Amino acid sequence: MSVVFLAQCKFNVSPYAVDVPKLLLNSRNLASIQNNEQNDSDDFKIALTADIHNYYQELSDLVERINGDSYRFTIVAGDITNLGLKEEVETTNSFLYRLKSPFLVAIGNHDLLANGRIIYSRVYGSENFSFEYKDVLFVFVNNNNWETSGKAPDLKWIKNVLSNSGATRKILVMHVPPDDPARYKEEEINEWAVMIDREQVDYVINGHNHSPVDHPCGNAHCITVGAPSKRFFYELEVTTSGVKHRKIRF
C-alpha cells in the first residue's frame, strides 16, 4: 500500500515553478464557442461566476448546477487562485473541465501573485482579449492595477475595441469593479464611466468583492458576480430583443 501511495507522489522542486503546458484555454474554448455560431440559436444564456480561490466544495456544486441548465458558455471573472500557484490553477481547472459547455477565465489580482502571470498566460492566454458572438462584443480586461507591472487597465486598447465594433450589444468583463475607490482615483473612475456610456456598453461584469450585487451604472448594468462561497451565480440571457440578467441561488 505504501508503494501505491508513493507512486502517486511527485518530485516537486518548488511550488513557484511555472512548468505548465501551454494550453491557451481561452482561445481553445472560444474556438469551440464560435465553431457552430451560424447554426446556434440567436437566443442564448451565459453563466457568470468569479473568485473561486479555494472554494472547491461550492465550485463543484456550481458546476453541477450549471450543467443542469443549457448555458452556451461560462465566464469566470478572475481570482481562480489565492496565490497564483500552479497547483491552484490545476485544481480549479479540474473542476472547470467538468463543465459541459466551454468556459472563459479573466485574470484576477490573486492570479497575478508570485509567478501567476506567467502561469495565466500559458494556461489561459492573453490578459486582454475580445471576441464577438451573436452580435455581442465581449471584452476581457486585466484591470488589476496594483499587481500588474505595466499598464492595467489599458484604456486606450479598450476604447479602440469598443469603438471599432459594430456589435449591437457590448459586455465588459474584468476582475476589479472599475469604480473601486480603494484602487482607482476619482478621475480614473470618471474616465471609465464616460467610456461606458459613450461606447454604449450594456454590462460590466466583475468579481473581487465576494458578495454578489448588481446595480445600474450610468446607462449600463454593473454586476459583481460574487464568489461561489456565497452560493449565488449570475445568468445573462441574450435574446434578439436585448440582454437581461438574473441572480440565481444554488
Partner 1 sequence: MSYVDHLLLQYAGEIGFISLGIGKTITSKYSIAALYGIVPAEISKGPHIETFTFKQTYQFTSNDVFNIYSGINVFHVTGVRYTTSKSGKYPNDYYEWGSIRGILYLGALWNLEKKGRTSFYLESGVNDISIVNYATNSQHIDPAGLFTLAIGYRYQFD
Binding site for partner 1 (CB under 8 A): 5-6, 8-20, 54, 56-57, 60, 82-83, 85, 87-88, 91, 95, 110, 113-115, 118, 145-147
Nearer CB in complex with partner 1: 16/97: 16
Q: Read out DSSP for 185-225?
A: -HHHHHHHHHHHHHTT--EEEE-SSSS-EEEEETTEEEEE-
Nearer CB in complex with partner 1: 115/130: 115
> What is the nearest approach in angstroms of partner 1 to the Cβ of residue 53?
10
What is residue 88's three-state secondary structure? helix
Please give the distance of CA 63 from its chain centroid, rounded to a whole number.
15
Nearer CB in complex with partner 1: 33/59: 59
Residues 6+ apart with CB under 8 A from 176: 109, 143, 144, 145, 183, 206, 207, 208
Nearer CB in complex with partner 1: 109/130: 109
Nearer CB in complex with partner 1: 70/82: 82
> What is the nearest approach in angstroms of partner 1 to the Cβ of residue 168?
38
- Say which residue the cell 461550492 belongs to: 58
Half-sphere CA count of 170, side-chain side, radius 13 A: 20
> What is the nearest approach in angstroms of partner 1 to the Cβ of residue 4?
9
> What is the nearest approach in angstroms of partner 1 to the Cβ of residue 210?
14
- How many angstroms separate the CA atoms of 88 and 249, rounded? 25
DSSP 173: E
> What is the nearest approach in angstroms of partner 1 to the Cβ of residue 116?
9
Please give the distance of CA 72 from its chain centroid, rounded to a whole number.
15
